[in-house]
A and B are shown apart, each in its own frame.
Chain A
Amino acid sequence: MKFGISVHEGPYTHQASDSAYFFCKAALEAGHEIFRVFFYHDGVNNGTNYATPPQDDRHIMNRWSELAKEHDLDLVVCVAAAQRRGIVDEGEQQRNGKEGKNIADGFRISGLGQLIEAGIEADRTIVFGD
């Protein structure tokens, strides 16, 4: 089965991101394919590398990065949502004259079309949100 995943809530405040992560991990371990994980609304905050959670807590952002590296996952942060919330890659940094960039390893910034494409290409699309 080929899954498309959309994560609509930010890390820590809401469990949606944790649930999405555990779903992806379990699906991959069971031999399924994750076509793409799309991050929307506050979900884009899963893609920051500027967060420093307490050491005795899970590191949600790094967890996504590690899963992406291990399984060659496509983690896509919505550009419109990212611009509102300050998730910046090199291209956005240059275009908008920002001092730094904070996109975490394994994530890329792209358009909403990537979510629609995931819906078309995947056998099942699952939203993890509020």
Chain B
Amino acid sequence: MADVKKFLYVNRKAPYGTIYAWESLEVVLIGAAFDQDVALAFIDDGVYQLVKGQDTKEIGMKNFSPTYSALGDYDINKIYVEKESLEARGLTIDDLQHLVWEDEDDDWAEKDSIKIVTASEMAEIMDQSEVVLSF
């Protein structure tokens, strides 16, 4: 188990309506214990998962969106959001949570985790990943 592989978790679904987003996050959190090279991708309706100010009171579901802000503490700091998916839904990076991580090699400087990438850049990221888990 010494090998480090490039894991990519691809999130394609809206945060509520189906359980995919929440159970995907559960895999990411458990997987963080395995010391692999982890990245997250958000495409299609998956971009809604990162929208800030979520309020689930009226649908009787747990609002799990604050969990995303803990990803930096798990050394998960490569979060790719597809530009075209945001644009198609009238969203910009300002609509998303501000996710950060602390770089221990740079005096614990706080850095942005989210990177907006084009569909073709996303395809390249997927191509370079070794284990792609799609949710």
Contact = CB atoms under 8 A, between A and B. Distances in A.
Interface stretch (B31-39, B52-60, B76-84, B107-115): B31-39
Contact of A120 (B5, B19, B30, B132): B5
Interface string B23-65: 1001100110110100000000000000000000000000000
Interface in B67-85: none
A8 B24 CA distance: 11
B119 interface: no
Given A115-B27, A120-B5, A8 B36 contact: no
A6 interface: yes
- Dominant SS at the B interface? mixed
A129 B20 CA distance: 10
B92 interface: no
Contacts of A8: 20, 135
Interface string A94-105: 000000000000
Interface residues of B, number: 19
B7 interface: yes
Nearest to B34: A116
B30 A117 contact: no
Q: How large is the interface on A (under 10, 10 to 19, 20 to 34, 35 or more residues)?
A: 10 to 19
Nearest to A41: B23
A116 B135 contact: no
Contacts of B127: none
Nearest to A122: B131
Interface string A102-117: 0000000001110111
Contacts of B1: 117, 120-121
Interface of A: 6, 8, 40-41, 80-81, 111-113, 115-117, 119-121, 125, 127, 129-130
6 contacts: A112-B27, A116-B7, A116-B31, A119-B5, A120-B5, A120-B36
Instruction: Give me the 5 closest cross-chain CB pairs, A-B, nearest first.
Output: A119-B131, A112-B30, A116-B31, A127-B134, A125-B131
